[in-house]
Amino acid sequence: MTTFTLNKSMRPDLLSDLFPLFNAANPDTLSGLLAASAELTYPAGRTVLMEDSWGNAIYLIVAGWIKVRHDIGSDYITLAVIGKGDFFGEMAILDESPRSTDVVALSPVKLLSIPAQHFIDTLFQDPQLHHRMLQMMVQRLRHANSYFQRRHKPAAVKLAHTLTTLASAYGKVNDTVPEMFNLATDDLAAIAEVPKDDVAKIMEKLREKGWIVADQSGQVLQLKGFSHLTQLAQK
């Protein structure tokens, strides 16, 4: 873990633009959070948070992709993949319990960490931030419900939904083509709830159609057939 330099004199509205969690918070709230924050970087593959550790901060993703995973004894299962603009670590500080998952950097990541007590105090001081936090927690529950309702959909539909959802939420558009981090088959299989062999076969078919293309580094997946994938995801 290393630190990076983020301009803490940046305008509060830029912080709210980057993180939807803060888009209703008042400027004084944002200034206080920036002043209390620490800036961290992690290389790809590094564990950011350990399961069963006690929560002492909430983390905001400035750049990069991370995965949330759970230890199932002899292996790990990926529960979620999130990226720029999202946050994690909130559950352990809200219910004052040990962390229930590991968090691992998939790519190099830049984070802001805000001490737990400072964040909790700020929630009580700013009703708009408190309400927004509740809204985003509900959104996560709705997202989980959506995945549950899709459990009996065909594998290709579930995989297309996963790809388009991740690209829309955390990817970027390069010359009109949505791009996202090129996830490993195991991670895609876990979060889409599709067998690994099926994921490999479907991804190969999507490549043959030209709907998905990995860049030369193998780190970026271009969704050239995004409209087709969206239609498939809605079946």
Average pLDDT for runs of 10 along the chain of length 235: 49 80 91 91 95 92 96 88 95 88 96 94 94 93 85 95 96 96 96 96 98 95 98 94
CA 11 to chain centre: 24
| Token representation of residue 41 | 């970087």
pLDDT at 11: 64
pLDDT at 183: 97
207: enclosing H helix or E strand = helix 196-209
Would you say the CATH fold of 155-233 matches that of 12-149? Answer: no
Selected from 3.30.230.10, 2.60.120.10, 3.50.50.60, 2.60.120.560, the CATH number assigned to the domain covering 12-149 reads 2.60.120.10
pLDDT at 145: 87
Instruction: Say which CATH class 155-233 falls into.
Output: mainly alpha
Q: Domain coordinates of the chain in residue numbers? A: 12-149, 155-233
pLDDT at 16: 86
CA 227 to chain centre: 22
pLDDT at 75: 86
pLDDT at 12: 67
Q: Name the pTM for this structure.
A: 0.91
57: enclosing H helix or E strand = strand 57-63
Q: Count Cβ neighbours within 10 Å for each residue of 59-68 and write b for 16 or more, e otherwise.
A: bbbbebbbbb
